[in-house]
Amino acid sequence: MIIKEILILDRAKNNSGVHDGLSGFFNLSKDLKSKKFNKVFIFSSSLRYLLISKIAGIKNISQYPLFRKKDNIVTSAKIFTENELGDIVSTQPELIISDYKVNKVKQKFNDKNIVKVKTYKKINRETFSVAKNFFRISKKNKNKNENCYQHIGIYIYKFEILKLFVSLKQTLREKKLKLEQLRALDNQIPINVVLAETKPMGIDTKSDFVKFKKILERNNF
């Protein structure tokens, strides 16, 4: 479907819009009539817009049930959709995840070359949390993988923290897992974690190098 034109509904808080009030009622009807529409979808329970559409001469009108205001998000939308499709629509969402994707995520959690970070709280694009731990292989304990993310090693330091960090000795956990960020956590230096929009490609293993080489070859490098 291609949208050829958008009509802007001109209504204002002080009722000074072109489509406000009684005159606005007829102005909008006139605007719609000039377009010679043969069908309209009204995603609200407004009697006003129903009458406007009728006066505009639109024969085929599909609208949410009239005089329903509190349940337009679910019930009215369900009734509207069922009337259009001629079929029963479930309001209970069904999340389907393929076994392939599930197994792929499991493989990442069990891949020691992919570092993970566990945070105290869930993070999203607008929030951050403090790192609780960094690890390579996830243990199969209940709730162990809550608030866990693939770690991207990009850090921003304050000068005094960086100066302190390099003066500290390697900790046992850092040496065992070869993760320098554990030196900070083991010395009570908090690390804030934010969510990245994309995941840059790292070359840490032979398979990573092969993938990178293929990308170069595809782009004639």
- pLDDT at position 71 over 70: no
Res 164: pLDDT: 95
Contact criterion met (CB below 8 Å) for 125 and 195: yes
Could you tell me the pLDDT band of residue 79, with boundaries at 50, 70 and 90? confident
- pLDDT at position 218 over 60: yes
- pLDDT at position 70 over 90: no
Using only C-alpha atoms, what is the Rg of the chain?
29
Q: Express each pLDDT in 33-46 by its tens digit.
A: 999 998 999 888 88
- pLDDT at position 215 over 80: yes
- pLDDT at position 90 over 90: no
Could you tell me the pLDDT band of residue 2, with boundaries at 50, 70 and 90? confident
Bigger pLDDT: 85 vs 165: 165
CATH superfamily of 99-218: Spore Coat Polysaccharide Biosynthesis Protein SpsA; Chain A (3.90.550.10)
Percent of the chain surpassing pLDDT 70: 95
What are the CA-CA distances from residue 214 to residues 39, 111, 202, 204, 218 (Å)? 52, 22, 14, 16, 6
Q: Which residues contact 59 (CB under 8 A, 6 or more apart)?
A: 38, 39
Could you tell me the pLDDT band of residue 141, with boundaries at 50, 70 and 90? low
Taking the whole predicted model, whether its pTM rises above 0.95 is answered as: no
Q: In the chain, where are the structural domains located?
A: 1-94, 99-218
Terminal alpha carbon distance of the chain: 40
